[in-house]
Structure 1
Amino acid sequence: MSIERPITEANAGIAQLDRRSREIFRRIVDSYLTTGEPLGSRNVSRLLSVSLSPASVRNVMADLEALGLIYAPHTSAGRLPTELGLRFFIDAMMEVGELSPDDKSAIERQVGGSNRSRSVEEVLTDVSTMLSGVSRGAGVVLAGKQDPAIKHIEFVPLDPERALAVLVGEDGSVENRILPLPRGLPSSVLIEATNFLNGQMRGRTLGEAREAFEQALSTAQTELDALAARVVEAGLASWAGASEGEPRQLIVRGQANLLEDLKALEDLERIRLLLDDLESKKGVIDLLGRAEEGDGVRIFIGSENKLFSLSGSSMVAAPFRDGDRKIVGVLGVIGPTRLNYARIVPMIDYTAKVLGNLLK
């Protein structure tokens, strides 16, 4: 497993920390990631492996605060790690272990599933749901939109001027579009268009079907009458038009998890801002796109990215590949900065590998 650990201002501070300072800093970070609460000098002194008075602990904490690694949320309160401190901890001190065989089996079972006939979108949705469950954050998956082979097409009349164009893919996906019709169009024309598409285009992708139909029209190789040909052309164009917008699909699951375990009103406001961020899909897509640029797991913390500059949130993400080792998407978890990084990082990494094997 690889984690991208960039050289940052936080990394540079490691040379200034002795063993005692690192242990005190680790205790403060561990407490924050576990409880979200600040840790005071008296409690720190009780947790240390060596005997150290609260007064001595306070001196070390003052040095850590001067380095910008911790801060006091209130006067006379304990200390919490800053975003810089979290970055320092993750890049220089966090120990990430291997998943247990039980954890690996659980991921393989939930991602792979017993039903191998699931569509790619259903698999990606299951992955997003699984990630939200193990992290108690929001699971996110970004992938290219699929162009499945056509299994069935039908034009269903709704009223004299509209029809419902239904496309069923061989992967189980269903696309519905409403088409305007010339008033007085005979129902036999819709039947002719339906029969033509199911007879000539089944097994082809939508792109292939459009290309074949356009070629047939240009060479007069179709026996469709003019009205039926217009219906076929309009139907293919409507489905293609929907897929030619944003070329990638974003799946987000588990937003409700973010509302759990709130500590104060300011937490509620932070989560409200994060939910607004998730609604702004373009920002999430752009951020996940940055995770495609590396090979390993990437971690984005708070204001390091403008998307989380107000909500103070974090994202752990990794790319996944197809059978040709080409990156085809990104999966990850978005949540508060006190995510359990040491547990989530190997889960993200292994899930990306399992999903990649499934897409071969």
Structure 2
Amino acid sequence: MASPADRPAAETGALANLNARSREIFRRIVESYLTTGEPVGSRHLSRMLPVSLSPASVRNVMQDLEELGLIYATHASAGRLPTQQGLRFFVDALLEFGDLGREDRARIDAQVRAAAEGGGFEGALAETTSVLSELTRGAGVVLTTKSDPSLKHVEFLRLEPEKALAILVAEDGSIENRVIVTPAGLPASALVEAGNYLNARVRGRTLAEVAAEIESERSRARGELDAIAARLVDAGLASWAGAVEARDRLLVRGQANLLGDVRAAEDIERIRTLFADLETKTDVIELLHRAETGDGVKIFIGSESKLFSLSGSSMIAAPLRGGAHRFAGVLGVIGPTRLNYGRIVPMVEYAAQVLADLKRSR
């Protein structure tokens, strides 16, 4: 019997024209799989249906569904499982999303807002991935993209005879601290001079704008600063630029939960592949960026993405919006393809809204 990957893609029109009986049987197959992970046979299905239907009649419908590429059997005598295409059809056409339960909503609110009180927005992000991991038994992920904010103030503080702390304060309240190497015998006046020179130029501008201005007036600037202070300015700009350029920051919590659905040795190998991909970050960051557009939750199932083509996993992700509806990141949950989509989609959506509210209030 052909595997799901061997089957031709079903025509959208054919899927749309499934009659009520076929949709009900297909829905029961998928719901059984999402609950147990096991194949379901025609005899068991005939007992599950709200109307009386013989196992033979159910088998006929299952054969039609199989020809459409929605279900498959691992061998001829087995029950049926949904294909990845079948899961996509179920999620897009049949699944109904309810409101998030009061208990889940309260837990997300309490833990995320408490984390924000103690650790700011970064603390809230970390806690959100943790609470989503706990509630879904999957891996919680968040991707944030640093903007190049307008600046407010800079300062240089001596740490050691040959080290100083370069402090960059943005108008949005974010702070970048970098340790820079300073010349031996650096006088305190040089730290003040370099700070004053930059503060005369930074307010209301981005770091890139400040660096461009200083570069354009470099010959005159060298006249305003002594050589040591000029070196401090260059060192500070270089250290802060490195921080701003590291735009994508990925946080993953609960990877071990992905082992909970492992049923065979080959499953372990697939999860190891996913762990390696999460470690390198490139593919998951690319996939999360695909969830940036629009306002709704996006669902990626199995081989629809490069990241999950081997591991057979899924991801539910929602964009984070800050002030003026600006993109601030992506929040998501990774798990097996038999995720409880009906519960997790509104959960991710609500958690993203809590983070967006916190971002706008700061």
TM-score band, normalised by shorter chain: 0.7 to 0.9
Residue equivalent to 2:6: none
What root-mean-square deviation, in Å, do the aligned CA atoms of Structure 1 and Structure 2 show? Answer: 3.2
TM-score by structure 1 length?
0.82
Report the Cα offset of residue 321 of structure 1. 1.6
Q: CA deviation at 1:70?
A: 0.6
Note closer, same or farther for the CA distance 1:77–1:150 as it changes in structure 2 (3 Å cut): farther
Q: 1:193 touches 1:232 (CA, 8 Å); kept in 2?
A: no
Which residue does 1:154 correspond to in 2?
A: 157
- How far apart, CA to CA, are the structure 1 residues paired with 2:69 and 2:258? 27
* 2:303 partner amino acid: S
Q: Which one is further off, 308-317 or 274-283?
A: 274-283
Matched-pair contact (CA < 8 Å) for 2:214–2:221: no
SS of corresponding position for 2:293:
coil
Paired position in structure 1 for 2:333: 333
Per-residue Cα deviation, 1:317-337 (whole angstroms, up to 9, x for no partner) = 121222212333221112211
Separation (CA, whole Å) in 1 of partners of 2:197 and 2:252: 37
| CA contact 2:41–2:80 (8 Å) conserved in 1 | yes
* 2:71 pairs with 1:70: yes
TM-score (normalised: structure 2): 0.81
Residue 3 of structure 1 corresponds to none
Q: How far does residue 150 in structure 1 lie from its aligned partner after superposition?
A: 5.5
Q: How many Å apart are 1:124 and its aligned residue?
A: 2.0
Query: Conserved in 2, the CA contact under 8 Å of 1:14 and 1:92?
Result: no
1:224-260 Cα offsets, whole Å, 9 max, x none, are 5322331332133122123224x33222222122122
Does 1:318 find its partner at 2:318?
yes
Q: Is the 8 A contact 2:302 2:309 kept in 1?
A: yes
Letter in 1 for 2:66: E
Partner SS for 1:329: strand
Partner of 2:304: 304
Instruction: Tell me which residue corresponds to 2:273.
Output: 273
What's the CA shift for 1:312?
Answer: 1.8
Please state if 1:254 is matched with 2:254. Answer: yes
Contact 1:153 1:168 in 2 (8 A): no
Q: Distance in 2 between matches of 1:10 and 1:121?
A: 45
Contact 2:115 2:127 in 1 (8 A): no
* SS of equivalent to 2:349: helix
Change (3 A) 1:43 1:194: farther
Please give the alpha-carbon distance, in whole angstroms, between the structure 2 residues aligned to 1:68 and 1:312: 17
| Equivalent AA in structure 2 for residue 46 of structure 1 | R
AA of the residue aligned to 1:356: A
- Per the alignment, residue 292 of structure 2 pairs with 292
Distance 1:283 1:269, change over 3 A: same
Task: Report deviation, 1:198.
Answer: 6.2
Q: Is the 2:194–2:229 contact (alpha carbons within 8 Å) kept by the matching residues of 1?
A: no
**Partner deviation per Cα, 1:291-338 (whole Å, 9 max, x = no partner):** 122221111111112222222221111212222123332211122111
1:57 deviates by 2.3
Counterpart-to-counterpart distance in 2, 1:153 and 1:257: 45
Greater mean deviation of Cα atoms: 195-204 or 273-282: 195-204
Q: 1:343 to 1:231 in 2, by over 3 A?
A: same
Alignment partner of 1:306: what SS?
coil
Distance (whole Å) between structure 1 residues aligned to residue 301 and residue 68 of structure 2: 18
Give the letter aligned to residue 322 of structure 2: D
* CA distance in 2: counterparts of 1:73 and 1:219, whole angstroms: 76
Gaps (5+ residues) in structure 2?
1-8
CA distance in 2, matches of 1:105, 1:270: 35
Secondary structure of the equivalent of 1:252? Answer: strand
**1:226 maps to what in 2?**
227
- What's the counterpart of residue 85 of structure 2? 84
Could you tell me how far apart the structure 1 residues matched to 2:180 and 2:338 are? Answer: 46
Identity %: 53
User: Retained in 2: the 8 A contact 1:138–1:333?
Assistant: yes
Q: SS at the partner of 2:325?
A: coil
What is the alpha-carbon distance in structure 1 between the residues aligned to residue 12 and residue 294 of structure 2? 20
